[in-house]
Amino acid sequence: MRTTLTIDDDVMDRLKREAKRGRVSFKTAVNQALRLGIDRLQPTARRRAFRQRTFRMGYPPGSHFDKALQLAARLDDEEIARKLAMGR
């Protein structure tokens, strides 16, 4: 199909360079550039939002997570006591 377009000078220069670089006709370079541009205008398929599954794991009674270091120390102590009771 034939049509008349007004192309800005800088765009014309880029199209000519691209045609020369790709060893294609000016017409082919224009069509390739238009196809690429139109493809980018197409909306992409929306991905479903990522949802992380969570599980209640509970926590030791009497523990407060604002005192995490105390909790870690207590759990370490309990593990050491358990290993000593087993004879390790």
Distance of CA 21 to the CA centre of its chain: 33
Tokens of 7: 């192309």
Distance of CA 8 to the CA centre of its chain: 35
pLDDT tens for the chain, 88 residues: list them.
Answer: 888 999 999 999 999 999 999 999 999 999 999 999 998 887 777 888 899 998 887 776 766 677 888 888 989 999 999 999 988 6
Distance CA 75, CA 2 (A): 79
pTM score: 0.47
Asked if residues 71 and 65 have their Cβ atoms less than 8 Å apart, the reply is yes
Domain spans, the chain: 9-41
